[in-house]
Every structure is written in structure tokens, then in C-alpha cells.
Amino acid sequence: MLATPIARLRLIGLIESLSWFALLFIAVPMKRMPGLLGMEQGNDTLVTVLGPIHGGLWVLYILAIVLAAKRPGLPKPLIVLALVCTFLPFPIPLMILDPKLKGIEGLAEPKA
């Protein structure tokens, strides 16, 4: 399943997107809106934990893009799109980039 750089890129992209989603829609509301959960004051524990995890996953995603770009067969516009998608919110990269990567996943690997 993770035999190719593109497959790894797709998986890391999914995990990184989900970490962003959890950070923005779970951790930050818990910190900013304490009344939401019946707390007297906000709890920033999740932000403190998820923030660095998301940052590390983002760096790993950029590294996966660089490693996939070194392989022959990955079009340069797709590499640029992957880099642009690192700054887009959760569902957009999965809807735009992932189908394109899936379509070329087997084609980008040189035949042994």
C-alpha cells in the first residue's frame, strides 16, 4: 500500500489534513469557548498537544512532496499544486489533489 512515494504522500496528506481539522474545529473551540463544554475557563491542553503534532505532520508532508518530486513521472504542475494545497483548509486538498495523485500513482513509478 505504501510502496510508492505517491502513496506515502497521499497518506501523509490525509493524516495532516485531519490533524488540521482536529486542531481548528475541536481544540481551538475548547480553548476559546469554555461555556461550550460547561467549563468555567478555557482549556488549552489540546491546542498545546495538537499544535506541535500538526506542525510536525506539515513538515513531514512537505518532505513527502519533495521525495515524490524526485521520482520521474510526477508532473511539475502537480508538485506545485501539492505545495499550494498545504495552505488550503481540510477538505479542499483531499478533493483536489488526492484524485489526481491516485490517477498517476501507478504511472509515476518506473518499471523494474
The mean pLDDT of the chain is 82
Let me know if residue 23 belongs to a domain.
Answer: yes
Total domain count, the chain: 1
Q: Count the helix, strand and coil residues of the chain and give each as a percent rounded to the nearest 5.
A: 70, 0, 30
37: number of Cβ within 10 Å? 10
* pLDDT band at residue 112 using 50, 70 and 90 as cut-offs: very low
For the record, the C-alpha cell of 18 comes out as 485531519
Let me know if residue 28 belongs to a domain.
Answer: yes
- Residues 74 and 105: their CA atoms lie apart, in Å, by 9
Q: Answer positive or negative: Cα dihedral of 63, 2, 74, 13.
A: negative
Considering the entire predicted model, what is its pTM?
Answer: 0.79
**What is the mean pLDDT of the segment spanning 21-31?**
86
Q: 16 near 60, Cβ under 8 Å?
A: yes
Q: 44 near 31, Cβ under 8 Å?
A: yes
For the record, the C-alpha cell of 73 comes out as 513521472
- Identify the domain containing residue 75 by its residue range: 5-103
Let me know if residue 108 belongs to a domain.
Answer: no
Let me know if residue 39 belongs to a domain.
Answer: yes
